[in-house]
Amino acid sequence: MSAGPNTAGRRRRFGWPRRVFSQVLLMQLAIAAGVTVLATGLFLAPFSRELDDQAMSRALAIAETTASAHVADEMLGSLPVTDGPVQAEAERIRQSTGAEYVVVMDRRGVRWSHTDPSQIGKVVSTDPSEALAGRHVMEIDSGTLGRSARGKVPLRDHQGKIVGAVSVGIAYDSVRDRLLAAIPGLLAYAGGALAAGALAAYLISRRLQRQTHDLAFSDISALLTEREAMLHSLREGVVALDGAGRIRLMNDEAQRLLGLGPDATGRPLDEVLGDGRTTEVLTGRVLGVDLLAVRGSRVLVANRMPTDDGGAVVTLRDRTELEQLGRELDATRGLIDALRAQDHEHANRMHTLLGLLELEMHEEAVDFVTEVVGVHRATAEQITEKIHDPLPAALLVGKATVAAERGVSLRLSPGTLLPDRLVDPQGLVTVVGNLVDNALDAAAGSQDPRIEVELRAEGRTVVLRISDTGPGVPVEQRELVFSEGWSTKKLPAHGKRGLGLALVRRLAERQGGSARVGESAHGGAEFTVVLPEALTEAGRDGAAGPGTGPGPAADTTHEQATAGETR
């Protein structure tokens, strides 16, 4: 016969509760009750033995008192009778001490006294051999008067000879009565202890209930499992910190973005990441929303949420590809603006040339075309004569064109000379492109807008110096400009700015160099970047001499895109 719904309901009703509060309360009550019962039992056992010892000691003392009361002298030359002096003395002692019986016997075990006179003259029911042998005996035993605590001593005459024994019994019921009388008080103490334990169990359970939000242990276990699965499946990095700044947990994506291993868990964040903006953002020393940080080659966006225990949870998003796309978009827009300006200027020149031809001023038209072409050729030749590596040379040719369209003069310093032996041309393009873009923005709008670029080799070290005629950088901000997220420019359409100079310093420091800013001779800013070991040794790696660069025919479109990517 199948169980109905009432049976299932009873099983649920009387089964083990699911809530943490109920489970902990029941367990603690059971523990408190068990401890109370155990303690009570452990107390009663020695207390009962103590009462037995006291009863036997008392019986022995009464027996010794009886044996020293000249009873032995009364037994000489007489027979055991019910109204004899021995019986009278024994009864006097029994009544005065409250003993159950005082039995005096001779060496044959014949009773000379007893509470029941009919037993006088008869042999005792228990073995008196130990007492007759001269030993004192204490025991709990049963005799004709029932269970009692006994004390037996030898009976000696005035010469010290054993002539019998004295056996005294204390009714065991009196011992049990004393034990039972002590139990109510003991139970009162035990009940008080149990009540205090129950109250403590209730308070602890209520605290656990608040901390666990009244969930069952199975629910907590399931939540932990789900949390682990969720954290490690997220494509955003998650870092949890405790109140002391130690890493409490990291998911797989956070380990990848920060370049850390599983052994970083439990260690201070300052220790595993070192000094830098990333550490300051994650530890909360820099506050804000969507804070930028650069970790290695990755651009990260961090958001930090404090927790109630003094720690925090930090989420990290990888914006490296998005930043690259944003720079490409900026480069494309800059290229479009440059092409639009060039198209406008080209149209003006074509109109001028057309007017000269219509006016049949042929020589003037030839001179005009020669002058226009010569300016661009001279600029390209000047750059490629001093910078032999094709990538930075092509970049500066393109930047010179953009600068001219913006009304800014870009020129190379007399000390510029860079051989075609760069170890990392792309890295130098990133540095030059970012610094020239910043210089163009700073110089544009000044009274005499111009930029001076110096690129020179000192052994295997490359020194880059770019100065402008802009407003310059205040002394108190000369370190701040190299921080991620810092910028004086208006935000672009794709989001954050303030990464260009941070990437410049990061790339320079990665090569063991430095990047700093000071004041130029023209009153603006002067950025200096030192890149040690940036050149290969002379005569190695297929180093080319002058004239092997791209020349004036460099692809301006490509260089504009390259310049945009380095912002």
Q: Which residues contact 253 (CB under 8 A, 6 or more apart)?
A: 234, 235, 236, 237, 238, 316
Return the amino acid letter for 396.
Answer: L
Tell me whether strands 450-458 and 409-412 are parallel, antiparallel or unpaired.
Answer: parallel
Look at the block and give the residue holding tokens 């044996």.
67
The whole-number pLDDT of residue 327 equals: 58
Output the six-digit token pair for 306. Answer: 């404090």
- Taking the C-alpha atoms of residue 483 and residue 373, their distance in angstroms, rounded to an integer, is 42
Alpha helices in 311-386 (DSSP H): 320-358, 362-386
Q: What is the largest CA-CA distance in the chain?
A: 183
What residues contact 175, with CB distance under 8 A and at least 6 apart?
A: 51, 52, 55, 149
Q: Which residues contact 519 (CB under 8 A, 6 or more apart)?
A: 472, 525, 526
Enumerate domains of the chain plus CATH numbers: 26-178 (3.30.450.20), 234-318 (3.30.450.20), 322-565 (3.30.565.10)
As given in the structure block, the two tokens for residue 296 are 């290695």
The model's pTM is 0.42
Nearest to 67 by CA among 141, 159, 168, 150: 168
What DSSP element (H or E) covers 237?
A: strand 237-241
Strand order in the sheet with 247-250: 247-250, 237-241, 312-318, 298-306, 291-295
Q: For the chain, give me the number of helices (H) and strands (E)? A: 16, 14
Cβ(356)–Cβ(350) below 8 Å: no
Question: What pLDDT shows up at residue 339?
Answer: 66
Tokens of 88: 């009278």
| CA–CA gap between residue 436 and residue 415 (Å, rounded) | 18
Side-chain-side CA neighbours of residue 396 (13 Å): 33
- The encoded tokens of residue 198 equal 């129950």
Provide the edge-to-edge strand list for the sheet that holds 162-171.
101-106, 162-171, 146-156, 137-143
Nearest Cα residue to 486 out of 251, 186, 281: 281
**Token reading at 139:** 């025991």
**Main-chain dihedrals φ then ψ at residue 291, nearest 5 degrees:** -75, 140
Q: Read off the DSSP letter of residue 115.
A: S
Q: In a 3-state reduction of DSSP, which class is residue 61?
A: helix
Q: What is the pLDDT of residue 21?
A: 60
Please tell me the distance from the alpha carbon of residue 242 to that of residue 263, in angstroms, as a whole number.
16
Structure token digits, residue 175 = 């011992």
Query: How much is the pLDDT for 378?
Result: 54
CA 567 to chain centre: 38
Cα dihedral 146, 147, 151, 155, rounded to 10, equals 20
Helix (H) or strand (E) segment spanning residue 59: helix 20-67
In three-state secondary structure terms, 553 is: helix
Residue 205's alpha-carbon distances to 218, 431, 444, 465, 481, in angstroms, are 17, 63, 71, 70, 56
Amino acid (one-letter) located at 555: D
Query: In 10 A of CB 115, how many CB atoms?
Result: 18
Q: Which residue has the tokens 């800014």?
A: 408
Block mean pLDDT (10 aa), the chain, length 567: 46 53 70 74 69 83 83 74 85 87 89 88 86 87 70 86 89 62 70 76 73 65 70 78 85 83 83 80 80 74 84 83 64 62 71 83 78 62 85 82 80 89 83 86 84 90 91 84 60 47 79 86 88 76 40 35 34
β-strands 146-156, 137-143 pairing: antiparallel
CA 187 – CA 36 distance, rounded (Å)? 9
CA distance 350 to 160: 156
